[in-house]
Structure 1
Amino acid sequence: MVRSRTAINAIIGAVVGVVLSFIPLSPLLGGVVAGFLEGPDHRDGTVVGALAGAIAFLPIAAAGVFAFGVLGLGLAGGIPVSGIAFLSIVIVSGILFLLLYTVGLSALGGYLGAYLAVEYPNRRRRTRETIGFETDTRTRTADAAPIRDRESEPEWGVERDQDRERERDR
């Protein structure tokens, strides 16, 4: 069952994938964003990434249906039936390839985003706060990082600053 939070994360990931569509492998980036926002569970990250890819595929499918309609209607009287059948197979094969490309890379990105959420729980919490999402760990314990990660992860640059201070003190 898809929760509303998952759907919102999938829509955010789809928007990122569509906005960055001029970059190769942009569905991967959209999936990473969706998986990172979803949380540290790899399965949930993969599911939300695949949903983000399916949502991002909708404009591609609409363009394919439009092209199929224009080419199919325009060529109905001028090309033999076998030519229309071949053209139909080519267009449908192209759409299926794009579906697998978009949804597959987004699912992979969702998995990687969930991995990043495990590695950087403080970053995830701050990102969710910036967007305006709820960050209370009592509502869902699966979103909380393991205790050892929360205690041992230093803030960005703090460890480097501590190393510099040690070097200076020597």
Structure 2
Amino acid sequence: MGEGDTLVNALIGAVAGAVASAITGPVGPLIGGGVAGYLEGGERADGLRVGTITGLVSLVPMVLGGVVVLALLGVVGFGLLLDPTAVFAVGAVGAVLVIGGLAAIALTTVALSALGGWVGNYLKYDTDL
């Protein structure tokens, strides 16, 4: 854990972001990226890079959760086999909504983490913190 140790800083930021998400909700990725950017040091681009990596690392549990949700939608769709048109409608609409929602969450998470990395780097070098 130190300046330039990008992967370790990104992992620390991802854990900090997960803990902060449990407390603050959607501000968590910003805090996690900020922690990683502060630890990373270097230039602003380094903070942005480590923040982006932090966001990508924090997506792993989200993707696993999304797979579980899609699997549950499949079980619900399988239970509606009595009417094949209903299975297709429920499955297609559900899959589109879940995949669209996961894509929006992923984009927001990575963007906020990257912004947090930039802000964390700024706080380290341009303030008295």
The TM tier, using the shorter chain, reads 0.7 to 0.9
Paired residue for 1:109, among 116, 119, 127? Answer: 116
**SS in structure 2 at match of 1:115:** helix
Matched to 1:57, the amino acid is: L
What is the aligned counterpart of 2:71 among 69, 86, 96?
A: 69
TM-score (norm 1): 0.65
Q: Retained in 1: the 8 A contact 2:77–2:90? A: no
Structure number with larger C-alpha Rg: 1
Determine the structure 1 residue equivalent to 2:14. 14
- Which aligned runs of 4 or more in structure 1 are off by greater than 6 angstroms? none
Amino acid at match of 2:12: I
**Percent of aligned pairs sharing the same letter:** 38
Q: Is the 8 A contact 1:34 1:52 kept in 2?
A: yes
The answer to whether the Cα contact below 8 Å between 1:13 and 1:32 also exists between their aligned partners in 2 is yes
Secondary structure of 1:75's partner? helix
- Taking CA–CA contacts closer than 8 Å with sequence separation of 6 or more, which of the two structures ends up with the larger relative contact order? 2
Unaligned runs of 5+ in 2: 81-85
CA deviation after TM superposition for structure 1 residue 15, in Å: 0.3
* Structure 2 match to 1:26: 28
Higher helix share: 2
Matches within 5 A, 1:51-70: 51-70=53-72
Which 5+ residue runs of structure 1 have no aligned equivalent?
Answer: 124-170
Are 1:44 and 2:46 counterparts?
yes
Q: Distance in 2 between matches of 1:83 and 1:74?
A: 9
1:40 and 1:115 in contact (8 A); partners too: no
- Supply the RMSD in Å over aligned alpha carbons: 1.7
Does the CA-based 8 Å contact 1:40-1:117 persist in structure 2? no
